[in-house]
Amino acid sequence: MVIHAKYCLCLLIVSLAACGGGTGGSPAADAQGASAPAAASPAASRPVILVIGTSLTAGYGLDPAQAWPAVIQRKVDSAGLGYRVVNAGVSGETSAGALRRADWVLQRERPAVLILETGGNDGLRGQDPDTLRGNILAIFERARRLEPAPRLVLMQMEAPPNLGDDYTRRFRAVYPAAAAAAGATLVPFFLVDVAGIDTLNLPDGIHPTPRGHELAAAAAWRYLEPVLR
């Protein structure tokens, strides 16, 4: 897979800014950006699709209702599938950070489906792909402890090629290997039609615009819909 050089340069420039957070969902925000209600409601009683992710999931720079999990919610509703999407994206988070909060958010939401979007910030920092793989598997292991255990989905991410061909190859190989080991559905790089395209990204060159999120959701939906059905 080829990632535009301009996109990769922007990845490096934005990485430190993203670490400090930004506009995006809180760990327990749902796809519309509101905290889960304390009182029971028809929406709250629906089975949960929990999305643990980074700024790409949180909707950095946008209203959370424009982020791809919210687009997935609209697709779910249109298909009459009856799930509630919970956006647990945190800007700047590495896979280690996702692992640290996994127990808390899994116990809170008790998902029927867990979607994990992580690793982009690991790649920005050149962290060991073997550690990334271990963190992904540990998160899925925590999910499997739930009763009933959720269905698992892993979003493929890509590393910037400036770290060399060997690192890029090892990083890319993490995802199919981890998905196979965990019995998860693998979603190929969902920004394939968005990354590196100026009109589909914010001025930082990495975080998608609302239209970019729509395209990313459409790419993911081809793999998510069969899981949900």
Catalytic member of 95, 122, 207, 213: 207
Q: Is the pLDDT of residue 125 over 90?
A: yes
In a domain, 38, yes or no: no
Check residue 44 and give its pLDDT.
73
Does 207 participate in catalysis according to the annotation?
yes
Q: Is the pLDDT of residue 36 over 70?
A: no
In a domain, 40, yes or no: no
Rg (CA), the chain: 16
In a domain, 41, yes or no: no
In a domain, 131, yes or no: yes
Whether pTM exceeds 0.75? yes
In a domain, 39, yes or no: no
Q: How many CB atoms lie within 10 A of CB 148?
A: 7
Work out how many domains the chain is built from and give that number.
1
| pLDDT tens, residue by residue, 132-175 | 999 999 999 999 999 999 999 999 999 988 899 999 999 999 99
| pLDDT tens, residue by residue, 78-91 | 999 999 999 999 99
Does 91 participate in catalysis according to the annotation?
no
Does 204 participate in catalysis according to the annotation?
yes
Catalytic member of 55, 91, 95, 213: 55
In a domain, 63, yes or no: yes
Check residue 42 and give its pLDDT.
62
SS3 119: coil
- Strands (DSSP E) contained in 105-204 are 113-116, 151-155, 185-187
Q: Which amino acid is at 118?
A: T
In a domain, 14, yes or no: yes
Q: How far apart are the C-alpha atoms of 149 and 157, rounded to whole Å?
A: 24
Q: Read off the CATH number of the domain in which 192 is found.
A: 3.40.50.1110
With b for 16 or more beta-carbon neighbours within 10 A and e for fewer, the 91-126 pattern comes to: bbbbbbbbbeebeebbeebebbbbbbbbbbbbbbee
- 76: containing domain: 5-32+46-228
Residues 6+ apart with CB under 8 A from 154: 115, 116, 136, 140, 175, 178, 179, 182, 184, 185, 186, 187
List, in sequence order, every residue forming a beta bridge with 49; answer none if it has no partner.
85, 113
β-pairing verdict for 113-116 and 151-155: parallel
In a domain, 37, yes or no: no
Check residue 32 and give its pLDDT.
41
